[in-house]
């Protein structure tokens, strides 16, 4: 009963280092997402993938890249980490988009600190 699994759970980076957050879902969902959560700001969409083979920018894409490796996996890369990227990152998925909106299924989060 895994759902959405993301790794690592905790990471400390130095400014300028790079890293990749991995995410996989086992619910056969078409769409996947990366969000960041900051105090007082709710969740903000970084990138999403509507379906395998496509990716699109969300609200706050600067400083990030993504790869939809296959239907199950969607990774988020920080090429040169900055302190402003200190946040909690959530991977998520949804089965399909309808006119009445999505129900989104979230992973447990990755706590990233950039020093």
Partner 1 sequence: GNSVTQMEGPVTLSEEAFLTINCTYTATGYPSLFWYVQYPGEGLQLLLKATKADDKGSNKGFEATYRKETTSFHLEKGSVQVSDSAVYFCALSTGGFKTIFGAGTRLFVKA
- Copy the structure tokens of residue 18: 């790079």
C-alpha distances in angstroms, 2 versus 6, 75, 79, 106?
10, 17, 29, 11
Closer residue to partner 1 (CB): 13 or 92: 92
If binding is defined by CB under 8 A, does position 1 make contact with partner 1? no
User: Judged by CB under 8 A, which of 7, 20, 86, 102 binds partner 1?
Assistant: 102
User: Judged by CB under 8 A, which of 25, 29, 33, 68 binds partner 1?
Assistant: 33
68-100 b/e (C-beta count within 10 Å ≥ 16 → b): beebbbbbbebeebeeebbbebbbbbbeeeeee
User: Judged by CB under 8 A, which of 14, 28, 42, 62 binds partner 1?
Assistant: 42
User: Judged by CB under 8 A, which of 15, 16, 56, 84 binds partner 1?
Assistant: 56
Q: What residue ranges bind partner 1 (CB under 8 A)?
A: 4, 31, 33, 40-45, 48, 50, 56, 58-59, 90, 92, 97-109
């Amino acid at each position: 009963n895994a759902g959405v699994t993301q790794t690592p759970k905790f990471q400390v980076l130095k400014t300028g280092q790079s890293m990749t957050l991995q995410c996989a879902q086992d619910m056969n969902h078409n769409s996947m997402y990366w969000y960041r959560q900051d105090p007082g700001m709710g969740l903000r969409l970084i990138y999403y993938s509507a379906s395998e083979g496509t990716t699109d920018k969300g609200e706050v894409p600067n400083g990030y890249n993504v790869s939809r490796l296959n239907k199950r996996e969607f990774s988020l890369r920080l090429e040169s980490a900055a302190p402003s990227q200190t946040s909690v990152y959530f991977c998520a998925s949804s089965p399909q988009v309808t006119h009445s909106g999505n129900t989104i299924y979230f992973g447990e989060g990755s706590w990233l600190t950039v020093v």
